[in-house]
Structure 1
């Protein structure tokens, strides 16, 4: 069974989707601890409801960002965590945590990386006028949303979309692909080769999205 450590800063809806899939028996994993950097994060209430240990680590108590992430790494290691999951953790992960868990930290980003990295991915997509956007689960490296891609999901974008409407559409897919990426990892099916994540047993399906839809036959 895979031991997970979850890092969150806010409401934790992706955290909840992971809990639900584990409790449904679809992922062979257990959540050892939730770490938050915000004492008011609603993710804590989710942890309480499901009897999951949680820790609030205040970044202001540390002399440097590296010290803060060293503390997080130490707490995760002490609990036997094998995979770290960033479920709405609103900080750039620093080297001490990355070195402690190389290719063992997953993040989800609300855009089709490498497009629109960083904050406000939905707004960037709407402002740019793209016709397709989506979300990406990737391993974390020292860059800004630059780690190897594990799984992506795409949605059409309307010219009338706002940041909020696009966010709501993408969030539904986030709740599907983040647990799926963890399931693949738990089953030992992911292997990182350079920038490419190989998936054992992967079969490409002949599916595509065209937006606006084709009218010519």
Structure 2
């Protein structure tokens, strides 16, 4: 069974869904700790469920803060780190400590609409469809290898909140599928990590 550390920054709705799936045995994983950069709803959900938590408030410089939160994560010896609505960028050195076993969900069909406002950007662009993606975190912004993604239509009367809620439903399913694949061996993160390193070498040449 996979040991998961989950990082959150907000209300924790996606984390709450993941927790329900793991505890119901629908995802072969256990959430062993939840961390955040601030006190938030996700931390409260974890505490109510009896899961160890930690909060490492952001303070510059980013590299030093990133190392502190990476140390907190590493103390739990997770198999996979899941960023679930975590809104801070970790330093490349901190990411490298867990790569390729750090995953993130993103509310767009990457490489379309990367960044913190993927849903808003899709609406502003007049897109008729967007999507959801699960990726391996790398040192860029939503640039890591894509493990799973699915299209989501944009409806004519969609608000940002409406569209985001529909995307979240897909994000949750995709994350559960990816974690199940890692757990049963059908997804090998090491292969994706090798692919990522080769891509970097080619870019450097």
TM over 0.5: yes
Structure 1 residue 48 displacement after superposition:
1.5
Structure 1 partner of 2:183: 186
C-alpha contact 2:87 2:116 (8 A) present in aligned 1: no
Structure 1 residue 47 displacement after superposition:
0.4
Distance (Å, rounded) in 1 between the aligned partners of 2:105 and 2:48: 24
Higher radius of gyration, 1 or 2: 1
Distance (Å, rounded) in 2 between the aligned partners of 1:67 and 1:138: 25
- The one of 157, 161, 166 equivalent to 1:160 is 157
- The one of 100, 109, 118 equivalent to 2:106 is 109
Structure 1 residue 96 displacement after superposition:
2.5
- Normalised by the length of structure 1, the TM-score is 0.84
Structure 1 residue 194 displacement after superposition:
2.0
Structure 1 residue 159 displacement after superposition:
2.8
Structure 1 partner of 2:97: 100
Q: Runs of 5+ in structure 2 lacking a partner?
A: 197-205
* Aligned CA-pair RMSD: 1.4
Distance (Å, rounded) in 1 between the aligned partners of 2:178 and 2:14: 12
Q: SS at 1:190's partner residue?
A: coil
Q: Runs of 5+ in structure 1 lacking a partner?
A: 196-217
C-alpha contact 1:73 1:96 (8 A) present in aligned 2: no
- Output one character per residue of 1:125-184: Cα deviation in whole Å (capped at 9) or x when no partner: 111111111110100001110000011121211233221221121111122111221111
Structure 1 partner of 2:142: 145
- The one of 65, 68, 72 equivalent to 1:75 is 72
Q: SS at 1:194's partner residue?
A: helix
Distance (Å, rounded) in 2 between the aligned partners of 1:176 and 1:49: 24
C-alpha contact 2:63 2:90 (8 A) present in aligned 1: no
Distance (Å, rounded) in 2 between the aligned partners of 1:77 and 1:134: 32
Structure 1 partner of 2:172: 175
Distance (Å, rounded) in 2 between the aligned partners of 1:188 and 1:76: 23
Structure 1 partner of 2:38: 38
Structure 2 partner of 1:19: 19
Number of residue pairs matched?
A: 192
Question: Which structure: greater helix fraction?
Answer: 2
C-alpha contact 1:17 1:179 (8 A) present in aligned 2: no
The answer to whether 1:132 aligns with 2:129 is yes
Q: SS at 2:171's partner residue?
A: helix
